[in-house]
Structures are given as C-alpha cells and as structure tokens.
Amino acid sequence: MSLDKSAGTVQTMFGDIAGTYDLLNHLLSFNQDRLWRRRAVARLRPRRGELILDLCCGTGDSTREISQKQPQCRVVGADFAVPMLQIAQTKNLPQLVAADALRLPFSDHSFDAVFVAFGARNFEDTRSGIAEIRRVLKPEGRLLVLEFMRPTSLWLQKAFGAFNWVQAPLGRALSGHASAYNYLPQSIGGFYTRAEFENLLRESGFCGVRSFNHSGGIATSFLGCKTAGDFGDT
C-alpha cells in the first residue's frame, strides 16, 4: 500500500505531534539530530547579508541553527503546519511564514540559499517541490537538503531495523499519535536512494550536485547550485 503523503494528511500529522516533536527528535536520535543540522548548516556556509529560506522549518531548530552560524544573514522559516510554527515562535526567530513548499508565496529569484532539513521526504510530489525551490532561488543560489536515507551497509540496515522496532512504539506512546511514528520509517523506506536523489537534483537543473553522509549514511546532506557555481571548499 502506498503511503498517503497528501498535503492535508502530512500537515495535520505534523500539527498533531508539534508539542512533543522536539523532545522526541532529540530522544529518538540520541541527540544526533542536533549534530546533523549543525553539520548540514556548516556545509551550506551561510554568508553575511544573505537571505536564506529554511523550508519545512517545523519548530525552528534548523532556522535557529542557521541564524546562530551566521548572525549577519536573514533567515525566513516556512512551514505549512501552523502548530509547528507556533512552537518555533517561542524560540525568538525573526521571520516565520505559513506556506506550502509546493506553492511558495515568494517571487522568482528571491533567496541566496534554501535549506530543507527532513522536509523533502514528505512532499506529495518531490520533483515539483524541488522545481519550486529552484524557482525562488537567485541565479547563483544554492540548495542544501538534509534527509534521512536507507542505510546501505548491512550492519547499519540491521541497526536501523532494530531502531525502528524501538522508536515506533516509543514515539507512539510519548506523542499519543500512532500513525506519525509508523509514517517515519515508511517514508524513509519509500524515499529515493542517495544516487537517485542526486540524479533528481541534476534532472531538475541543479549544478555541482554532491552529497555527504552523516552517521554512516542514516542522514545525508545534498548540495546543489541553481546555475554553475560552487560552495567554496565544502
């Protein structure tokens, strides 16, 4: 059975788990989520004076990470789950916008960079989401997508299976939301592989596409530029 990723379902699901999202994120990942975001933001290399979109910002941990890494840039956090944004608001973030990633309320060529942490896997149509991101990037703009991947090594696959066996019931019990913590491993299992996602970025017109594994490939950072350009020495 295919996973229901319709906008309404995903939006409601994240809205329902907003209150326990941060706690469960840190708990279930043994705080690795913080490290992954920090490393991904370091790869993006936010620069002084830039306007950066943190798409699918959720409760704003990624937005805050970018602002802390480069206090001289302007970060806009966007997400379509308002309860997630309400939590983000308590973190003193300057600009938060309720928006659907597939229909962004921004003009063409608006942002120097777009950062998406653990959001792209949830798009109803990944290809359209990537095209929409590309539309709002400036010609020299860059994209960083941080996403969970199916581990490729055998021992990590086994560890991942055991982890899912523990995290799903724990997530269900603590969040009180059964389907959200079934959705997580299913959505990772049904998502692109690292090579497939790199290809999707290339096919969508991104240049200089490359990727970096975190924690042996449980999470991966993908980078690309809207037009030929580079990320410096990252």
The residues that touch ligand SAM, with contacts defined as CB under 6 A, are 7, 10, 14, 37, 56-58, 61-62, 79-81, 84, 100-102, 117-119, 122-123
User: 112 vs 147, which CB is nearer to ligand SAM?
Assistant: 147
Q: Which amino acid would we find at residue 192?
A: Y
Q: How far is the CB of 29 from ligand SAM (least distance, A)?
A: 10
Q: How far apart are CA 60 and CA 65, in angstroms?
A: 8
Q: How far is the CB of 25 from ligand SAM (least distance, A)?
A: 6
User: 60 vs 217, which CB is nearer to ligand SAM?
Assistant: 60
Q: Are strands 111-117 and 207-214 parallel, antiparallel or unpaired?
A: unpaired
Backbone torsion region of residue 30, taken as left when φ is above 0, otherwise alpha when ψ lies between -120 and 50, otherwise beta: left
**What ranges in 45-105 are assigned the alpha helix state H?**
61-69, 82-89
User: 14 vs 191, which CB is nearer to ligand SAM?
Assistant: 14
Q: What angle do CA 32, 38, 40 make, to 5 degrees?
A: 100
Q: Would you mind telling me the total number of residues written for the chain in this entry?
A: 234
Nearest position to ligand SAM, beta carbon = 58
User: 62 vs 154, which CB is nearer to ligand SAM?
Assistant: 62
User: 155 vs 213, which CB is nearer to ligand SAM?
Assistant: 213
Report DSSP state, residue 139: E
Q: How far apart are CA 7 and CA 126, in angstroms?
A: 12
Q: How far apart are CA 103 and CA 128, in angstroms?
A: 9
User: 19 vs 208, which CB is nearer to ligand SAM?
Assistant: 19
**What ranges in the chain are assigned the alpha helix state H?**
7-28, 32-44, 61-69, 82-89, 126-136, 154-175, 178-189, 194-203
